[in-house]
Structure 1
Amino acid sequence: MQTTRIIATVANVWRQPENIAIDTLALTNTGLQPWLAQLTDADTVTLEQDNRIVTQALFNDVFLVERFVNGWAYGYVLDQTDARHPQGYPGWVWAAQLSTVPLPVLTGPTVTIRWGFTPLLRLDGRTLLTLSLGTELPVISSKDHRYYTVQTPLGTGKIAKRATQFTFKTANLTRGAILVRLGEEFLDLRYLWGGVSAYGFDCSGFVYSLHRSLGIRLPRDAQDQIEQGGAIDLADAQPGDLCFFAHDHGHGAIHHVALYAGDGWLLHAPTPGKHVTYLQLASTYLRDELVVVKRNW
C-alpha cells in the first residue's frame, strides 16, 4: 500500500475507473460546483442507480493506494470505516487528485472546518483552494489571533480561526442539538449519492459529516452506522439521535438513516432528486420501517 493524501477540495470515489463525459468536470481539484451545476435531477438519480460514486474524500484525507491504472488509483479512504474492508472505504480516485509526497508527522492539535466552505490561504494571503465542512488539518501555529497556520499536502497554509467554529452559539446546546443546528445550515441542499461534503450529501453521508465536524467518528454507511452507539427508546429520543430504517416493515435491509430533530421530526437527506429537509416521522411510511434509535453524541 502507498499512503497518499487528497489534494482536491473534494474527490469523488468511484465504483469503476470511468471517464464519462458528463463527469469530466468532477475530476478537477478546485471544487465540484461546475460539475453539479450541469447535473440534472435525473442525472443524480442515475448516479445512485448505477452506483457510480461510492463515497467522497475531503482535502488532506489519507487514501491508501493499492494500484495505479491508466491515470486512476484504486485504494481505500482510511478514515471511513467499512465492515467489509478493514483498510478503509474502497474505490477509485482520479490520480491527479492525490499527493504522494510524505508529510512530517505532527503530534500537536488538529482543526476541523465547521463552515460549509472556507478558503485555504497561502501564507501571503492568496487563496490556494476552498475547503469543505469536515476537512481536518494539523496546526503548525496558532499565534496569529485570526488564522491558524496549518500543514497541508500542498504546503504550509493558513485558515481563518472563525471557520473552525460554529456559525451559531453553542453555550446552551447539547452536542446532539449542535448536530441538528449544524444540519439545518444545509436545508434545501440537493441530495448527492455518495456525498460527504457541503456540495451534497446522501443520507448516511449527511450524518457521518455532521458527526465528523464534532469530532465523532461514525462508519461511512448506514448498515455499519447502526452497529455503533447506544440504543434509545423512541419516546426518549433527543435531538441528534439517529433513526435507522429497513425494508419489509423494519425487518429487511437497512436503507435509510435520519437525524432526530425533536418533537417527532426528522432532519435528513432523503433520496436522489430531493433536498435536505425536515420530515414528521408519524406522517410518513418510514414510521413502519423504524428499526432502532441510536445515540453517539
Structure 2
Amino acid sequence: MLKKWYAIVLALGTLLLLSINSAEAKEKETDTYYVDVSAATLWTAPNLLREVDKPSSTNPVDLRKWTTSMTYEEKLGLVGKLETQALYGSKVTVLEQKGEWVKVVVHNQPTPRNEQGYPGWMPKAQLVKGKSFENKLNRPFALVTSPTAWLYENKKGNHAFMEISFNTRLPVIKEFKHEVLVATPGDGAKWLKKSDVAIYKNEMDIPAPTGQDIVNTGKKFLGLPYLWAGMSGFGFDCSGFTYTLYHANGIVIPRDSSVQATHGTPVERENLQAGDLLFFAYDQGKGKVHHVAVYIGDGKMIHSPNSSTHVRIDPIETSGYGEEYAGARRYIQ
C-alpha cells in the first residue's frame, strides 16, 4: 500500500513539475516579439515623446521626417532620453508593460546592464509576435548592405512597401536573378533588389572582415547626420556607428563606447591599424570614455561625433578629441 501511495505521490509531483515547466515555457514564449518597423527607438522611460518625436513612435515609422524636422536644440533634447534602436525583424524580450509602452531588451546588443540584451522602453504597437517569421529564421538570410533599401510589394519593384536600414536581416524565401523574396515579421513576403543585399546561409557564413573592410563599410555613411542612440542608416550615434560596422561584418561587439573600450585587444598608438577602435575620455583621456571612432590610417579616423554634425573623417589631433585620446582596441585578429 505504501508503495502504491508513493507511486501516486511521485506521479502527481511529476505532473506538477511538468505543468510548472510548461507554464514557464509558455510565459517565456509569449515574451518574445519582433520589431515591426524599420527601426524602433528605445527610450529611458515611457511617455517621453515630444510632438516632434511622433513620427518615430508610430507603425509604420517615418524616420526621415523625424530626423530632418528636428532643430539642433531638439536633437540635443534627446540626449540622455534615448537608449538605442532595434532594426526591423530584431528579436526582443518584453520585460514590463505600462499602458501602450513596453520595456524590452534587444538581443545581440551586448551590455552589462542586462545579460539578455540592451534595455529600453518602446511603443508595443511597433512589435509583432511573428510566429511565421520566427519559423523561417533557420533559412538563409538577406543582409541589407546599402545605407537603406526599399522593400517592395511586387517583384517589379514599382510598389514600395517600406524603407529599411543597412544591417537589417530578413529570411530568404526564394532567390532570383535580380530580386530576392524575403519574409517579414508581420507583413508576409516582400521583395528586395538583389543589389541592396548580401545573402548568407547563416551568421557564420559572413566572411571574416579585414580592418579595411570595416573602414570601407563606414565610408558608405559619410555625411549622414548624427542621432543620439541611432543604430541605423537613418542616423547613428558614435557607438551605434562602430557597433553596426562590425555587426554587419559578422562580429558582435558591445553596444556602448565605454564597454567597447574594455573588450577586444589593447593596441598601442604606434601600432594602430585600419579598423581599430579609438576611444576618447573626459579629464584629458583619464576619465570616463564618452566617444569612439574607427581608425582609417595616416592619423585619421571616421566617426559620428555629435548632434551638430554628421559621419565624417577627421585627423585625430585636430578633431576636437585629440587631447582626450584614451587608447585603442582591436576586434579583428
Tell me whether the two structures share a fold, i.e. TM-score over 0.5: yes
1:199 partner amino acid = F
Contact 1:30-1:129 within 8 A present in 2 as well: no
- Which residue number corresponds to residue 58 of structure 1? 87
- Which residue number corresponds to residue 150 of structure 1? 182
- Which residue number corresponds to residue 7 of structure 1? 36
Superposed, 1:179-198 pairs within 5 Å as: 179-198=214-233
Report the alpha carbon displacement of residue 213 of structure 1 after superposing the two structures with TM: 1.5
Contact 1:191-1:275 within 8 A present in 2 as well: yes
- Which residue number corresponds to residue 261 of structure 1? 296
User: Is the alpha carbon distance of 1:27 and 1:186 closer, same or farther for their aligned partners in structure 2, counting shifts above 3 Å?
Assistant: same
Count of residue pairs brought into register by the alignment? 287
Report the alpha carbon displacement of residue 285 of structure 1 after superposing the two structures with TM: 5.2
Task: Work out which of the residue numbers 103, 110, 122 in structure 1 matches 2:141.
Answer: 110
**Worse-superposed segment, 32-41 or 16-25:** 16-25
Report the alpha carbon displacement of residue 148 of structure 1 after superposing the two structures with TM: 2.2
Unaligned runs of 5+ in 1: 166-173
1:94 partner amino acid = P
Superposed, 1:179-218 pairs within 5 Å as: 179-218=214-253
Look up the SS of the partner of 1:47 in the other structure: coil
- Which residue number corresponds to residue 265 of structure 2? 230
Contact 1:10-1:58 within 8 A present in 2 as well: yes
When Rg is computed on C-alpha atoms for both structures, the one with the higher figure is 2
State percent identity of aligned pairs.
33
Measured against aligned partners, the alpha-carbon deviations of 1:145-199 in whole angstroms (never above 9, x if no partner) come to 112222221222222221125xxxxxxxx62212222222222221110001111
- Which residue number corresponds to residue 33 of structure 1? 64
Distance 1:30 1:84 in 2: 27
Distance 1:60 1:52 in 2: 24
Residue 110 (structure 2) pairs with residue 81 (structure 1):
yes
Distance 1:31 1:79 in 2: 24
Unaligned runs of 5+ in 2: 1-27, 199-208
Distance 2:120 2:247 in 1: 21
Report the alpha carbon displacement of residue 123 of structure 1 after superposing the two structures with TM: 4.6
Residue 163 (structure 2) pairs with residue 130 (structure 1):
yes
Distance 1:106 1:32 in 2: 26
Higher helix share: 2
- Which residue number corresponds to residue 23 of structure 1? 53
Report the alpha carbon displacement of residue 87 of structure 1 after superposing the two structures with TM: 1.5
Look up the SS of the partner of 1:220 in the other structure: coil
Report the alpha carbon displacement of residue 108 of structure 1 after superposing the two structures with TM: 3.0
Contact 1:137-1:152 within 8 A present in 2 as well: yes
Look up the SS of the partner of 2:78 in the other structure: helix
Contact 1:10-1:31 within 8 A present in 2 as well: no
**CA root-mean-square deviation:** 1.8
Superposed, 1:258-297 pairs within 5 Å as: 258-284=293-319, 286-297=321-332
**Worse-superposed segment, 148-157 or 253-262:** 148-157
Distance 1:252 1:190 in 2: 27
Distance 1:80 1:86 in 2: 10
Contact 1:30-1:130 within 8 A present in 2 as well: no
Task: Work out which of the residue numbers 135, 151, 174 in structure 2 matches 1:141.
Answer: 174
